[in-house]
Structure 1
Amino acid sequence: MSVHTEKSLPRTSLKELGISARNVIGFLEYLKAHSIELHSLMLVRHGHVAVEGWWAPYGPDLPHMLFSLSKSFTSTAIGMAVQEGKLSVDDPVVSFFPEDAPKDISPNLAAMRIKHLLMMGTGHAVDTMGPLAEAKDGNWVKAFLALPVEHEPGTVFVYNTGATYILSAILQQVTGETLLQYLQPRLFEPLGIANPTWESCPRGINTGGFGLKVTTEDIAKFGQLYLQKGLWQGERLLDESWVDAATSKQISNGDGGDSDWAQGYGYQFWRCRHGIYRGDGAFGQFCIVLPEQEAVLAMTSGTNDLQGVLNGVWEHLLGAFSEANEGLADADAAAESELRQVLEGLYLEPPRILANSQREVEFGSDKRCVLEPNELEMESTGIIIHGDTAVLDIRDKRGEHRVELGRQAWRMGRTSLFGEEEQIAASFTWKSPDTLLLSIQRIETPFRISIEIEPLEEGIEIRHAVNVSFGEPASAPIRGHLQ
């Protein structure tokens, strides 16, 4: 269990907070029945944590990649800069970047204001993030301003991660600090959010629309700040008028109905059904604020079924609240104890298919395979199995990477195989008598990498896949020849 400090939210029993443990169990059963992979959840009511759980090997102290949930933090920084008089939502976007603006500024680009970036109503016909990331000179601002603006700003909603990046760039332009530096004394320190990290563009501007990593409790605290209309422990961090504007419908993004992606969009927050609003990120990173219930739900996940997660919340958790201490019978004490056991036993099972294979002897010595050119830019690999441990060695252009895996059980470790060094859990099993299956769970992210290795006459074939992705095509198998 996590260690609670004065920087943590207080913990209180479900009964005292008027939350039905039976409903929470129903939600967890719903996730299982729908094969929805959650990594953590925390339910807060009246500022107190009632429910918290992590699917091991995920844990309370691990930061988790937020993807687009980062956008709500960027919007918060803009709100703080507005209240400090550093900028206004009506300022023209081009006015901040005279050096990067095109020679001929179109009427629509000239009309684009900060509020249009915030509400995803920039006037672009498609998300601008692709062209920004592909900019040869690494100047994302210039690439953004060079793109055609097809519609009048404020008239059409297009989800636009590039727009959030520009908010980060504007903030850095007017404050001389990165988004992360600016939020440090104003948001992260007051909320007790330790060691947040944020990715940057090639020019050192935080990406804004994605790239923030914090813990599940940090997400819950952020939601609680919004629920309290910008107040934190008696101190005003954010104007109430900003919270109201950011979480209200600023632009239409569909015709409502059963989709929680068509209920209206605020300033980098989504409106939901049932009078609820949320920040969210790819693969199920959620900060859901339920004003009528005085509750916040924080979740991290590895799923593509985001609507499925929300349906489960509305179906099982919306009805879980009563006035504290009222209407909760003693039967609930039994349910609360059952829920505690369920939460303590949450676990992400590693694949377990065949424990052994006769071919394992082929992995008993230090044989390396040179790999044919491949998109992962791996040069050579070797795998050795001794007892219940497998050691995978991969060499790429950045150097050697070593991963230890447990037999049908997670082995904790660290690796820089995927970029920056991060914590992982790794396991191996035999998928068939001829195919070894390695699983690497990147426990600061939603991602699980599956690597199948099949021994061939004079080498190996490697096939790899990932549990969730933005729809990238499957990678071609990689062949390797014994050195």
Structure 2
Amino acid sequence: MKTLLDDLVASVRRQQLQVRNVVVRQGGDVIGKHDFEEEQPALLYSVSKTFTSMAVGIAIGEGAFRLDSRLTEFFPEAAQLAARDEHVAALTVHDLLCMGSGHAECPVTKADWSEGRSWDIERLFFGEPFVYAPGTRFTYDNSATYLLSKLIGLTTGVPLDEYLDPRVFRKLGIPKPRWDTCPKGVPQGFSGLHLTAEHLSRFGQLILDQGRWKGEALIPSGYIEQATSVRIATSDFDPPFATDDHHQGYGYQVWMNAYPGSCRMDGLYGQYVVLLPDRNAVVTFVSAEPHRMTAVLELTWTTLLDKL
């Protein structure tokens, strides 16, 4: 008897894609799961960003800061630069969330990862020229997400991972996960989170359900609505791997898909959580695909969508 994931599994094998685990949820339940490898916590790379974003949403709901709060309120270097750089003076939390910091390139590309003392990402962020007015141009910027992680610590008194543990992870039945830190002890925010595919799919379900889990509101629904809709255009984002799914706009650390109404969490080497509201479904991939990661995402459209 043919099952939901037969075509997906066959396509993975035919293309020799390095997919590890796939989980499909619909109506809140797991309706399909396939492990090409034994499931274990895996580095989620930039899928981590969406967790950072949701921590920001919770913190805003708790009154720690606002979307329009300026970075000069929290970061001394921003306050110092603001006097001579109007772009820095205008930078807000919203601008960090939507990758609209004003940089022309990601400052983290200049970090020397071989020497821990060079990992001052905050300094790299403020040392990079602010070429564009904040919020006007999308530049994929890991340092912006790092600043959001640091902001959580500055305003709540606990680091990002500890902040999310009682508010999200424990509520979802997820043991406190590993989240890699920078040398100063701040969780990376832009990467570093380790989860299993099944646990990750629970987080996807939480977002699909507008922040509610088992009847309890964990994340403000209004924030999720903003995060999962276009906050900035990505039409100029054109790396070699880009597809139509990279040109539909970006929310708050969430990508929009070409399929109408859908969005995704997106990480290097094929980590994806695809939210399909019109099908009440969440598709989760954990992978180690070094060359054709977008082919992993496209499995959703080519092998699953018409079955949901």
**TM-score, normalised by the number of residues in structure 2:** 0.92
Q: Equivalent of 2:281, from 292, 295, 310?
A: 295
Report how far residue 281 of structure 1 moved: 0.5
Q: Equivalent of 1:309, from 285, 289, 296?
A: 296
Aligned-partner SS, 1:202:
coil
Contact 2:122 2:143 in 1 (8 A): no
Q: Equivalent of 2:94, from 91, 115, 124?
A: 115
In the alignment, which residue of structure 2 is the partner of 1:80? 58
Q: Name which structure has the greater RCO, CA cutoff 8 Å, separation 6+.
A: 2
In the alignment, which residue of structure 2 is the partner of 1:474? none
Q: Cα–Cα, structure 1 residues 21 and 243, in superposed 2: closer, same or farther, change >3 Å? A: farther
Q: Quick one: which amino acid aligns to residue 88 of structure 2? A: L
Are 1:320 and 2:307 an aligned pair? yes
CA distance in 1, matches of 2:28, 2:5: 18
| Alignment map for 1:149-298 (pairs within 5 Å) | 149-254=130-235, 259-274=244-259, 275-298=261-284
Which structure carries more helix by proportion? 2
Encode CA deviations 1:401-432: one digit per residue, 9 max, x unaligned: xxxxxxxxxxxxxxxxxxxxxxxxxxxxxxxx
Report how far residue 229 of structure 1 moved: 0.6
Contact 1:101 1:142 in 2 (8 A): no
In the alignment, which residue of structure 2 is the partner of 1:54? 35
CA distance in 2, matches of 1:305, 1:285: 12
| Alignment map for 1:398-413 (pairs within 5 Å) | none
Report how far residue 147 of structure 1 moved: 2.0
Q: Cα–Cα, structure 1 residues 140 and 258, in superposed 2: closer, same or farther, change >3 Å? A: closer
Q: Quick one: which amino acid aligns to residue 314 of structure 1? A: W
Aligned-partner SS, 1:280:
strand
Contact 1:102 1:146 in 2 (8 A): no
CA distance in 2, matches of 1:137, 1:173: 21
Q: Equivalent of 2:68, from 76, 79, 90?
A: 90
Q: Cα–Cα, structure 1 residues 91 and 100, in superposed 2: closer, same or farther, change >3 Å? A: closer
CA distance in 2, matches of 1:121, 1:133: 24
In the alignment, which residue of structure 2 is the partner of 1:139? 120
Report how far residue 188 of structure 1 moved: 0.6
CA distance in 2, matches of 1:46, 1:144: 41
% identical aligned pairs: 34
Unaligned runs of 5+ in 2: none
Aligned-partner SS, 1:109:
helix
CA distance in 1, matches of 2:33, 2:14: 20
Aligned-partner SS, 2:171:
helix
Which structure carries more strand by proportion? 1
Aligned-partner SS, 2:230:
coil
| Alignment map for 1:324-343 (pairs within 5 Å) | none
Q: Give the greater-gyration-radius structure (CA).
A: 1
Encode CA deviations 1:131-153: one digit per residue, 9 max, x unaligned: 35568564332332222101111
CA distance in 1, matches of 2:230, 2:148: 19
Contact 1:255 1:263 in 2 (8 A): no
Report how far residue 311 of structure 1 moved: 2.0
Aligned-partner SS, 2:76:
coil
Q: Quick one: which amino acid aligns to residue 55 of structure 1? A: F
Encode CA deviations 1:429-473: one digit per residue, 9 max, x unaligned: xxxxxxxxxxxxxxxxxxxxxxxxxxxxxxxxxxxxxxxxxxxxx
CA distance in 2, matches of 1:63, 1:116: 31
| Alignment map for 1:26-65 (pairs within 5 Å) | 26-56=7-37, 58-59=38-39, 62-65=40-43
In the alignment, which residue of structure 2 is the partner of 1:127? 106
Report how far residue 130 of structure 1 moved: 2.5
Aligned-partner SS, 2:272:
strand
Moved over 3 A (4+): 20-23, 99-105, 131-139, 255-258
Encode CA deviations 1:200-240: one digit per residue, 9 max, x unaligned: 11111110000000111111000000111111101100111
> Between Structure 1 and Structure 2, how many residues are aligned?
299
Q: Quick one: which amino acid aligns to residue 275 of structure 2? A: V
Unaligned runs of 5+ in 1: 1-19, 322-483
CA distance in 2, matches of 1:210, 1:87: 23
CA distance in 2, matches of 1:74, 1:251: 18
Q: Quick one: which amino acid aligns to residue 91 of structure 2? A: M
